[in-house]
Structure 1
Amino acid sequence: MPLISFAKALRDSEHLTRRHLLLGNGFSIACRPNIFVYGKLFEQADFSKLSPSAKKVFKALDTQDFEKVIKALRDAKAVLSAYDGVSKKLLTTLQEDADGLRELLVQTIASSHPERPNEIAEHEYAACRDFLSNFNTIYTLNYDLLLYWTQMHNEDGVDPTSDDGFRKPEDDYDVNYVTWEPVNSHQQTTWFLHGALHLFDAGIEIQKYTWVNTGIRLIEQIRDALKLDYFPIFVAEGTSNEKLIRIRHNDYLAKAYRSFSEIGGGLFIYGHSLAKNDDHYLKCIEKGKITNLYIGIYGDPETPSNKAIIARANKMVSARASKISSSRRRRADLSVSFFDAGSAKVWEK
């Protein structure tokens, strides 16, 4: 199947009133493949605080994907709980390893993350800003700081064009962080759908760590928080349903989910495999008002992984059609096109 170029996808979408972007891990991998692919994270992870068996599960499942192993451990606990004679100690270990892997993933990303924004070259920031400028709203499933750094990387005195909804708290303007409130989200143009390293749930408020308010490098603040067992908002559960449960119980994540559910016009997906564990967002596309879907494909469309992406995309088209026929509400058909992800040149001129 031939792919269109990113430039042609943009031209084809010019008639749409709004264009949105959904980013997956491929966005970060395209910038620093030596850090953000699961294999590299697995190599750098410190499994010493988990049971000796936790790391062996990766080998047993022939994967380096943390989320797949988390799901497998939770499934194993559910199955074994139905059998008589299974020790409570084993069930507890399975649960503790599943929870521990989630925290380990956060710690590993933070520990291996680029230290400073200036480790990303000026030409990389410029290329990425050009790419992002094509879209009205940006949604990301990534946890790292690359998108945030890019949006904040402007000349001195020039305000960012993006709005992530965070502001200084009105009742305590001297604090060294900013907070998110639903009232500030109406003009928001950037959403971290699964949380991010620099976003923390502080109970009565959602906080964002920043450099400008402290003078301390952002990644250093995050690592210090992790040492104190303060964990960022981070959705890394094993299944789509588990992720959705977590999303619905956090004010910021729930609002992000509703925002994505309500968008119309065109949606570009870059760096995401349409994996089943993110079905909660893929189903939003099926049920929603998006009319034109543009999906980035890396490499040969005939590889098994790319065939799976294409099949899932076509399933979304079919699901929309079935919803139109079974509903009295007027819904637009969903059109899908596939573009060459490499032609987008997200991090290179």
Structure 2
Amino acid sequence: MDKTEWGSILICNWEDIKDEKWNNLLLGNGFSTNIWKNYSYQSLYKYSIDNSIDPPLIESIQNIFKNLQDINFEEVLRAIAYTILVKNSLGEETERYLQLYETVQQNLFNTVYAVHVEYSKLNKSALAQEIKSFKNVFTTCYDLILYWSSYGALNPNTIADFFWSNDSNAFDPTNTQTSKARFYYLHGALHLKQDLNGTVSKLRYTSDKLPASSDFKYQGEKTQLPLYIAEGNSEYKLKKIKSNNYLSFCYHSFSSISGSLLVIGHSLNKEFDNHLIEAIKHNINLKAVGLSIYSELTQLEKEQLVKDLEAKLHRKDLELFFFESNTHPLINESVKVQA
């Protein structure tokens, strides 16, 4: 077996564990940024500033990034959220901070939209070839890489995303039974929208195109908002998930999977993704989890990440596997798109 070893810590290559009958897949931001490097938080922040993405990150917001010495949007959102919490506790005005929070959220979403990889450049067939073996596919990414790869290269009669109920392509929580391979957008996505009643719909033509700004409306009862989660920490993410019937359905489905789970491009950061950690850890029907370890990390960083993941996911009857990310076909050089 080809692996890196520190004491009892083993990091394998994908070839060593690929025959473990993985039936569930979770994709994180590392999956998208490997394919299209402009998705990295550093590139997103720079792109937003350089191109004055609306709503603009005004000087006071840029100062938060600078003072935190971090270009991670989620860290900034978390900092503002805590400020709002403290201000509320002290009975002080929070309107200004709520506006800052909303600006960062909307800017992040609009920037992801602006830097999105082109449909024609995406190696959809290579991605679909790997995705098609899973019964359930979950993603926390907003982008359309998974959606385009699945609906652009797989037989649509073999896959389902639960937007089939009526002419409006709306999600119906009473109609979710299917024997097809299932796709879930745990934190929303660019091609999904919701109305003021919380009804979530899929934009029909987006299987090979980005949505247009005209698809979303901010007009009274006819308001149609993009569905995405850009909350600053796991607690706030879970609160938003529970407030929406589609997102809560996806999260419940993730919490109820059985067999094995392959995690690619996701570090399961406790601050941002504890709701996912808890779903994995407390699901007794889940017997094995395989986690990709970012190959560009130093050996010490890899060792620490493995130890952290072992501690966070420890359960007596849960077996953990770790493998080098660049050895898996979904996250190696073969699927990268050159900018």
Give the TM-score range, shorter chain: 0.7 to 0.9
Structure 2 segments unaligned to the other structure (5+ residues): none
Counterpart CA distance in 2 for 1:118 and 1:308 is 39
Counterpart CA distance in 1 for 2:228 and 2:261 is 24
Alpha-carbon deviations, 1:183-221, whole Å to 9, x = none? 3322261100011011111236321012279xxx73142
Correspondence list, 1:179-190, <5 A: 179-187=170-178, 189-190=182-183
1:224: Cα distance to partner?
2.7
Q: Number of paired residues?
A: 312
The reply to whether residue 247 of structure 1 matches residue 223 of structure 2 is no
Which 4+ runs in 1 deviate beyond 6 A?
A: none
1:134: Cα distance to partner?
2.9
1:309: Cα distance to partner?
3.0
The one-letter amino acid paired with 1:75 is Y
Aligned to 2:110: 107
CA separation of 1:130/1:7 partners in 2, compared to 1, >3 Å: closer, same or farther?
A: farther
After the TM superposition, which of the residue ranges 47-56 and 61-70 deviates more from structure 2? 47-56
Aligned to 2:75: 68
**Please, which of 5, 26, 33 is the counterpart of residue 13 of structure 2?**
5
Structure 1 segments unaligned to the other structure (5+ residues): 322-332
What secondary structure does 1:59 align onto? helix
Counterpart CA distance in 2 for 1:239 and 1:248 is 15
1:310: Cα distance to partner?
1.3
The reply to whether residue 283 of structure 1 matches residue 278 of structure 2 is yes
Counterpart CA distance in 1 for 2:234 and 2:313 is 20
What secondary structure does 2:205 align onto? coil
What secondary structure does 2:101 align onto? helix
Percent of residue pairs identical = 26
1:226: Cα distance to partner?
4.9
1:154: Cα distance to partner?
3.0
After the TM superposition, which of the residue ranges 192-201 and 126-135 deviates more from structure 2? 126-135
The one-letter amino acid paired with 2:99 is E
Contact 2:57/2:107 (<8 A) preserved: no
Contact 1:47/1:55 (<8 A) preserved: no
Contact 1:21/1:137 (<8 A) preserved: yes
**Please, which of 193, 196, 219 is the counterpart of residue 200 of structure 1?**
193
Counterpart CA distance in 1 for 2:193 and 2:149 is 20
**Please, which of 30, 33, 57 is the counterpart of residue 34 of structure 2?**
30
The one-letter amino acid paired with 2:215 is A
Alpha-carbon deviations, 1:77-127, whole Å to 9, x = none? 32345558x6x3xx3222211121111111111122134x2122xxx2222
Alpha-carbon deviations, 1:278-325, whole Å to 9, x = none? 11011111100211110001216655653443123212443x23xxxx
- The alignment's TM-score, normalised by the length of structure 1, stands at 0.82
CA separation of 1:246/1:346 partners in 2, compared to 1, >3 Å: closer, same or farther?
A: same
1:239: Cα distance to partner?
1.3
Aligned to 2:121: 119
Contact 1:131/1:344 (<8 A) preserved: no
The reply to whether residue 235 of structure 1 matches residue 229 of structure 2 is yes
CA separation of 1:281/1:255 partners in 2, compared to 1, >3 Å: closer, same or farther?
A: same
The one-letter amino acid paired with 1:286 is K
Counterpart CA distance in 1 for 2:28 and 2:300 is 19
Aligned to 1:218: 209
The reply to whether residue 342 of structure 1 matches residue 332 of structure 2 is no
Counterpart CA distance in 2 for 1:62 and 1:37 is 16
- The alignment's TM-score, normalised by the length of structure 2, stands at 0.84
Aligned to 1:325: none
What secondary structure does 1:181 align onto? coil
1:50: Cα distance to partner?
5.2
Aligned to 2:98: 95
The one-letter amino acid paired with 1:108 is T
CA separation of 1:242/1:304 partners in 2, compared to 1, >3 Å: closer, same or farther?
A: farther
Correspondence list, 1:309-320, <5 A: 309-318=305-314, 320=315
Correspondence list, 1:290-309, <5 A: 290-299=286-295, 302-303=298-299, 305-309=301-305
Alpha-carbon deviations, 1:12-66, whole Å to 9, x = none? x13xxx6100000111111111x21011111122366455311110111111111
